[in-house]
Amino acid sequence: MELLSIVDELENMIKESKKLPLSSSKTMIESHRFLDRLDRMRAILPEEMETARLVLAEKERIIREAHDAAGQYMEESRNQAARMMDDNEITRNAMQMAEEIVAKAESVSRDIRRDADEYAEGVLNHLEIVLKRGLDVISQGKDEIRLSLETDDY
């Protein structure tokens, strides 16, 4: 920044300098003042250039870090998307397996219910036969008692 200040001083020197007689573009400048400013510029220039180099290096470092961070973010995003796809696939597979298990359970349930109904029907048929025989035996017993009452005169 000091360099710009010295350039401004040189410009002012030229603007404020005396014009040579009979010339509109030639001026007289105090050479020792002009050379003094040039020496200051030479002294400052390396410092200013080093500062500019450091600023550029810092800018490049920041850009590189931002680029690396963006790359890392992209990689994490890809990994997360892949995990989500895997999770989605796992979820889809789990849902399919669950549906198959439910279908199998319903099928087994129908089979068990059918077998239980068949067993209950068989037990009820057997019970009906036993009860009919029992009723037949009861009817026979009543018939025998009536017959014996009619034949036995007490």
25: which DSSP letter?
S
Residue written as token pair 């009979």? 22
- The reported pLDDT for the residue numbered 71 is 85
- The reported pLDDT for the residue numbered 52 is 80
Q: Which of 74, 73, 2, 91 is nearest to 42 (CA)?
A: 2
pTM over 0.75: no
Run of H or E including 22: none
List pLDDT tens digits, range 34-47. Answer: 898 888 888 877 77
- The reported pLDDT for the residue numbered 152 is 67
List pLDDT tens digits, range 104-143. Answer: 989 998 999 999 989 888 988 888 888 888 888 888 888 8
Q: Which of 86, 57, 81 is nearest to 73 (CA)?
A: 81
Residue written as token pair 């040039």? 38
- The reported pLDDT for the residue numbered 154 is 53
- The reported pLDDT for the residue numbered 1 is 63
Tell me the β-bridge partners of 28. 18
CA distance 83 to 19: 80
List pLDDT tens digits, range 54-101. Answer: 888 889 899 888 888 888 888 888 888 777 777 777 888 888 998 999
Domain segments of the chain as ranges = 2-17+27-112
- The reported pLDDT for the residue numbered 14 is 85
